[in-house]
Amino acid sequence: MQKAKLIEPMTGKYVFALGVSRFLGLANWVIQIYETRGHFFFFDEGSYLWYLGAFIAEMVQSFILADFCYYYIKRYADLFSL
């Protein structure tokens, strides 16, 4: 999308909503880890590495979409500042 420089309005809104959703999902993970003091990843039966993998995947998705959300917000801020 960065190379195209022109995105259809509905596609932009969808990707922005997806970015907000990913950010809130990441916030949920961080809160769960904070409240359980890291025990969220490890239970009595042993470690569950897929929780850690899912958390890392959530972080990667959030950072990828953060770039798009930044430019999306910047674009609308430029439009309303005129």
Mean pLDDT computed over 56-77: 85
Question: Has residue 62 got a pLDDT over 60?
Answer: yes
pTM over 0.75: no
Tens-place pLDDT, residues 37-49 = 767 666 656 556 7
Residue 76's pLDDT band, with cuts at 50, 70 and 90, is confident
Among 29, 28, 1, smallest CA distance to 14 is for 1
Cα 11 to Cα 4, 50, 63, 74, 78: the distances in Å are 13, 31, 19, 17, 19
